[in-house]
Amino acid sequence: MKTTSNTNYHIDRSIILFFIGVIIISASVFGYRLANHTPCDIVDFSFDSSSLRVGEIIRFKDKTKGIVNEREWDFGDSTKIDTRIAPFHTYEHPGQYTVRLRINGNCEGITQTLTIKEKAFVLDSTKLARFKVPVSIEVGKELRIKDETKNARTWEWRFGETADVNSTDKNPKYVYKTPGLKTITLIVNGDVRYGTKKKINVLPKPSLVDNKPVRRVPRNSPKSTIPYAPTIGVAPISDKPKETKAPFIGLNKLKEKLLLVADEKQTAKNFNEYLCGNLNLSIVVNRKKTTFIEFCQRIKGKGIKIKELEIVRAENNCIKNLVIRYSKTGLF
């Protein structure tokens, strides 16, 4: 005799609905993530700056393709994380910095290393060394200079005869031993960037020419035993020739006459008496050596402006040297 049993299985409807809901939610989340997925291998960014220096503004830009919901910029200098698409950033210290960009919380993307240099030097003209020098000075004469630099605390003077520091005084004195064009350099507060150089023409000492004639006695002539006695009532004849004294001419008058040469109203010959006949006198014009007659020929028919003029005279008023600085005023 066979016994047959019928078993009925019943699944609660609420359980079925629960699983269906889970499947739908999971599918929705997966679909959303799939639609908004950005592959990490396409994360990219760029930066733009005129110079990578301390204090300069650097503009970064996210160039990632795809949907980006979150950004995290790490500039490598322990500053706050930036979340903008194109942030600006400045570095306060020189060195190497690694910049990272994280996308959507999980993609590290690429990194770039920036080398930040020292801040660019900007010259402050108020800190430049300031002093004045004459156009020229003679060898052996004392040169005195006054420093006019503001806020100067230390001074290094070089007068161009050696490479050594010649003085550390604020207002130094110096005596040149050799002639020529020299360069005076002043560095204040130990900062060579604010050093100043100026030129000075050192003139040689005036040469002393003894014009006294020398009386020679023949070797074979017998020595006279009779002493020389001048004729009574007649003045003795001097062996020394009478020295010619040149007329005096001042700076303003000399300037006027030089301008007349430029206007072709006078020539070098009009200066003959002041130069004691030496029209080939060596002079300094715009810091270069030339002769007086060459200078007159050079300015003839030209518009000029005499900016500086210095006269060196002998005891008889003869002009022994001229130092002239001039510029042209016309087109030709």
SS (H, E, C) the chain: CCCCCCCCCCCCHHHHHHHHHHHHHHHHHHHHHHHCCCCHHHCCEEEECCCCECCCCEEEEECCCCCCCCEEEECCCCCCCECCCCCEECCCCCEEEEEEEEECCCECCCEEEEEEECCCCCCCHHHCCCECCCCEEECCCEEECCECCCCCCCEEEECCCCCCCCECCCCCEEECCCCEEEEEEEEECCCHHHCEEEEEEEECCCCCCCCCCCCCCCCCCCCCCCCCCCCCCCCCCCCCCCCCCCCCCCHHHHHHHHHHHHCCCCCHHHHCCCCCCCCCCEEEECCEEEEHHHHHHHHCCCCEEEEEEEEEECCCCCEEEEEEEEEECCCC
Q: List, in order of start, the domains of the chain with CATH numbers.
A: 40-116 (2.60.40.10), 125-203 (2.60.40.10), 251-328 (no CATH)
pLDDT digits (tens, 9 = 90+) for 263-291: 999 999 999 999 998 999 999 999 888 99
Determine the pLDDT at residue 207: 64
> Which pTM was predicted?
0.40
User: Is the confidence at residue 212, as pLDDT, over 80?
Assistant: no
Span 149-169, mean pLDDT?
92
Determine the pLDDT at residue 68: 83
